[in-house]
Structure 1
Amino acid sequence: MAEIPGTGTELDRRTVLRRAAMAGLLATPAMGLLNACASGGDEGANTDTPSGEKSDTNPLGVDPKAPLEVVIFNGGLGTKYATDVHIPSYNKLFPESKVTFSQTEEIATVIQPRVNAGDPPDMINNSGSKLMDMGALVQAGQAQDLTELFAAPSVDIAGSTVKDTLVPGTVEQGQFNGKPYALNYAFTVFGLWYNSKLFAANNWTAPKTWAEFTALLDQIKGKGILPYSYAGANASYYQYLVILTSAAKIGGPDVLKNIDNLADGAWQAPAVKQAAQAWGEIGAKYGNKAHLGLKHTEVQLQQNQDKVAIYPSGSWLENEQAKDTPAGFEYAVMPVPSVTGSDAMPQTAIYAAAGEIYFVAAKGKNPRGGMEYLRHMLSKAGAQGFTKATKVLTVVKGATDGLTISPGLTSSDTMLKAAGADYFSYRFDTWYKKLDDEARAATNELMFSGGDAQKFCDRMQKAADAVKADSSIQKFTR
């Protein structure tokens, strides 16, 4: 049986922090990690780990008696999918393995000192506003190469490798210079979320053009409802994602590819400036400056109370707010409206991607067990269990077939089907944490503090140029 304590593992947070402080390891996340781990790539992998005999049911050669430690981020997806679905699946195959489980809302705070000290958990859900710098983890040899996992047979889809069962682009989304070091498991659809019952009661329809969008916001404002908002304290990436969605729709997906690749002047592209200009005006006219200091759940609660009409987020939102969603509220999502009449991509185009990072610690005690745990997550049963528990799609193809799904998930699935092949994503946020941090701050300035589009572009270009010029930061391309 899995050991599932309420707040920690055998090495609790206080002990971890105390030991880390004594060792002088509590530096900034990226620098503390890199200082502690000078080696890079697979050279840092733990080769002195338990292994078992490979077989059809144990293709990765896991030691069936070896303990396994799993850490899950406790956020919008919760943790029941791990405790109720994936850990039992792993233990069914390896009943003699003691699985230790813990959860935290601050992955970097709790786990990074353990990584630096050479005592990482085996499988880590690296997510949340305080996630670890994935690019730095890869550079320091702390993340396991998952090539063997993706080549292994599926747990329950006969005749298929794990990779064969996945939505196209999944493996690539977790690659760093051609090698997969992360599993992005949740197939997340991003857009503008609203209460479909509120819209129906007021005869409001989802806008397709920018003129329709601003006209709708005016109507909502006239009803005494805040038309549009997000939480500045910890969810500003929701908003910069929307800005970059508009940029990609205006100028095409290469706008985002150039940003990822640190191309010269990528943040100064006309499409980026035009998108920032359009959204800056939304913030100034329809937002609430007081929300700069609020957390995401605080603004989301206001939306559940019909005090905020439209909220940018990913498809985890419905599950995250389940306990606070009243009977008169029904989640739905719309694509970001077209900013111009000549956008390069259609109005139905969306940001949708494999997200929610899970990785195996290369220097953990049981990296083979960590990869096997991911194999169970990627089974059809594991994916269905996740979707039932979270109302979020996974990257496993066809896993929702036959499931009765919620209104919000139905809406996001409809939006995804309407987009067809016209969906896109970026990776700079996981490759370069410094750029992610700066994008959050620059977005808040643009939306809440009277920043203008050119200042936004200049600020982000300066940050990107600094990352590009910093020889200590490994560069990635796609």
Structure 2
Amino acid sequence: MTHPGEITRRQLLRRIGFTAFVAGPGAGLLSACATAGTGAAPAPAPSTSLAASADPKNPFGVDAKKPLEVVIFSGGYTDAYAKEVHEELYKKAYAGVTIKHNATQQIGTQLRPRFVAGDVPDVLNNSGPESMDLTALAAEGHLADLTPLFDAPSIDDPAVRVRDTLTPAVLENARVNGMNLVLNYTVSHRALWYNAKLFASKGWTAPKTWAEFTALGDEAKKEGIVLFAYPGQKGPYYQLWNILYTAAKIGGNQAIIDIDNLVDGVWTADPMRQAVTAWAEIQAKYGDKAYFGLDHTQTQVKQLQNQVLFYPVGSWIENEMAKDIPDDFEYAIAPIPDVTANDAMPYGAIQVGVGENFVVAAKGKNPQGGLEYLRIMLSKEGARGFTEKTKNLTVVNGAAEGVELPAGLVSAAKAQDSAGQNIITEARFEGWYKELFDYGTEQTNRVMAGRITPEQFCTAMQKKADDIKQDESIAKQSRS
């Protein structure tokens, strides 16, 4: 569906993921626990030097006789893109190779014992609520250096390095403990998602101010619609993200940067306090506590039934719910409304970043094959295949040209275009300090349910951040 003033697909492809973002997650869309972090420097990884082969078609010296094992998080993107696109391209390049494919939503449960035992997959798509602690894995020497991958000749043009085919945010966010260890593969938009068709039928518009937001809440309540909801089970981090990005809207991106850098007093400063207070008040007046007992899929179905107006999530939701979207529903993105009269970022600022992280196991049986698998993912054919399967964009420049894109993604692209340079940076502490992020999701449920006050939330989060800052066993990261 095309709306008046909507940007063209060609404009979308130029602007959505293929310009430098003032954003970036250090560890992808979702982060959870693997093993305990350490303060030690990362152990040296086995060499995967480009000198292994002078052949630009096989720069890592891949041995087709060596099997390759790939583990994929089968969430919103499912795993068809891996089985039917990337793995098939690998088999085509290395005839006779055997690929073991494993798809799961329990990354930590399945992989943690294997990393401890030394029996690891070669490629890991580390996402989902059980995703593993990359900082801890890096400190233990489990992650292969991806610098050879970024410096390798690209599949599409051997005269061009892989790094020069990617949006710059990939390279900015590949580093953990000072090394290039993570490939973030997708471009994502996180904001408030709603049903454009419902809004059109009611004559509603996306609110630009908090007063307009609450006024819409009053209108929705009359019709039995909850203004805002998030999943209290298996998804409270959606609301933690929302609070963080609201704090950035109020206080600027420095608020997020200071949180990531464990700056003293940042959790109790005005931007965070105002953000938590605003959303806690929305929940108290317009929310429904029943959603604290629902998971993300159940909550998303409620929105498809027009029982929820706004839902805080990322652009993967459209593919995740594709089979359930009714004819009267069309996903669209709404920026966070102005919270105060003096927000540091203007209305229209949205969060745009790279995510869905992939790593190669340094201690796996076939790290050369792992690097080559990622190089194939970063080819235009590999990236275009991902977009065709998932209706989401990758970080590969121009790879989605000609692919039919869904309405929600076009809406997100239009919102990014309108935001210009007002892009909210992504919090990286979710991957850097797993303990802090997990604690934050617990405290988010508590404050939103009214079991603690916003002031108590801020105090508790600051204390946890201070404890982590003082813990010498936890490797510290920094950003600017």
- TM-score (normalised: structure 1): 0.90
Structure 2 residue matching 1:455: 3-state secondary structure: helix
Corresponding residue number in structure 2 for 1:466: 467
Cα root mean square deviation, aligned: 1.9
Structure 1 residue matching 2:56: 3-state secondary structure: coil
Corresponding residue number in structure 1 for 2:196: 196
> How far does residue 455 in structure 1 lie from its aligned partner after superposition?
1.1
User: 4+ runs of 1 displaced by more than 4 Å?
Assistant: none
Structure 2 residue matching 1:101: 3-state secondary structure: strand
Corresponding residue number in structure 2 for 1:229: 229
For residues 322-355 of structure 1, the C-alpha deviation after alignment (integer angstroms, 9 at most, x for no partner) is: 1111111111111111211221112111111111
Corresponding residue number in structure 1 for 2:26: none
Amino acid in the other structure paired with 2:389:
A
TM alignment of 1:291-440, pairs within 5 A:
291-423=291-423, 424-440=425-441
State the percentage of identical aligned residues.
48
> How far does residue 195 in structure 1 lie from its aligned partner after superposition?
0.9
Amino acid in the other structure paired with 2:457:
F
Amino acid in the other structure paired with 1:465:
D
Cα contact 1:257–1:426 (8 A) shared by 2: yes
For residues 230-251 of structure 1, the C-alpha deviation after alignment (integer angstroms, 9 at most, x for no partner) is: 1011111111111111111111
For residues 204-243 of structure 1, the C-alpha deviation after alignment (integer angstroms, 9 at most, x for no partner) is: 1111111111111111111111111010111111111111
Q: 1:48 to 1:398 in 2, by over 3 A?
A: closer
Cα contact 2:43–2:139 (8 A) shared by 1: no
CA distance in 2, matches of 1:477, 1:82: 33
Corresponding residue number in structure 2 for 1:133: 133
Amino acid in the other structure paired with 1:461:
Q
Structure 2 residue matching 1:268: 3-state secondary structure: coil
> How far does residue 173 in structure 1 lie from its aligned partner after superposition?
1.4
For residues 411-465 of structure 1, the C-alpha deviation after alignment (integer angstroms, 9 at most, x for no partner) is: 1111122222222111000011101101101111111234322111111111111
> How far does residue 157 in structure 1 lie from its aligned partner after superposition?
4.4
CA distance in 1, matches of 2:48, 2:274: 53
Corresponding residue number in structure 2 for 1:30: 35
> How far does residue 48 in structure 1 lie from its aligned partner after superposition?
10
TM alignment of 1:253-272, pairs within 5 A:
253-272=253-272
> How far does residue 41 in structure 1 lie from its aligned partner after superposition?
1.5
Cα contact 1:150–1:163 (8 A) shared by 2: yes
Structure 1 residue matching 2:267: 3-state secondary structure: helix
Cα contact 1:129–1:234 (8 A) shared by 2: yes
Structure 2 residue matching 1:400: 3-state secondary structure: coil
> How far does residue 401 in structure 1 lie from its aligned partner after superposition?
2.1
Moved more, 447-456 or 375-384: 447-456
> How far does residue 261 in structure 1 lie from its aligned partner after superposition?
0.8
Structure 2 residue matching 1:29: 3-state secondary structure: coil
Moved more, 73-82 or 178-187: 178-187
1:41 aligns with 2:42: yes
> How far does residue 47 in structure 1 lie from its aligned partner after superposition?
5.3
Corresponding residue number in structure 1 for 2:104: 104
CA distance in 2, matches of 1:165, 1:386: 16
1:159 aligns with 2:159: yes
Cα contact 1:76–1:316 (8 A) shared by 2: yes
Cα contact 1:66–1:366 (8 A) shared by 2: yes
Amino acid in the other structure paired with 2:217:
L
Corresponding residue number in structure 1 for 2:18: none
Corresponding residue number in structure 2 for 1:15: none
Corresponding residue number in structure 1 for 2:15: none
Cα contact 1:185–1:357 (8 A) shared by 2: yes
CA distance in 1, matches of 2:218, 2:159: 55
Corresponding residue number in structure 2 for 1:170: 170
Structure 2 residue matching 1:266: 3-state secondary structure: coil
CA distance in 1, matches of 2:171, 2:239: 26
Cα contact 1:280–1:451 (8 A) shared by 2: no
Cα contact 1:42–1:144 (8 A) shared by 2: no
> How far does residue 39 in structure 1 lie from its aligned partner after superposition?
7.3
Structure 2 residue matching 1:267: 3-state secondary structure: coil
Cα contact 1:157–1:379 (8 A) shared by 2: no
TM alignment of 1:275-294, pairs within 5 A:
275-294=275-294
Cα contact 1:377–1:383 (8 A) shared by 2: yes
For residues 112-133 of structure 1, the C-alpha deviation after alignment (integer angstroms, 9 at most, x for no partner) is: 1101100110000111111111
Structure 1 residue matching 2:313: 3-state secondary structure: strand
Gap runs ≥5 in structure 2: 1-32
- TM-score (normalised: structure 2): 0.89
CA distance in 1, matches of 2:117, 2:46: 14
Cα contact 1:53–1:63 (8 A) shared by 2: no
CA distance in 1, matches of 2:280, 2:59: 52
Q: Which structure carries more relative contact order (alpha carbon 8 Å, separation 6+)? A: 2
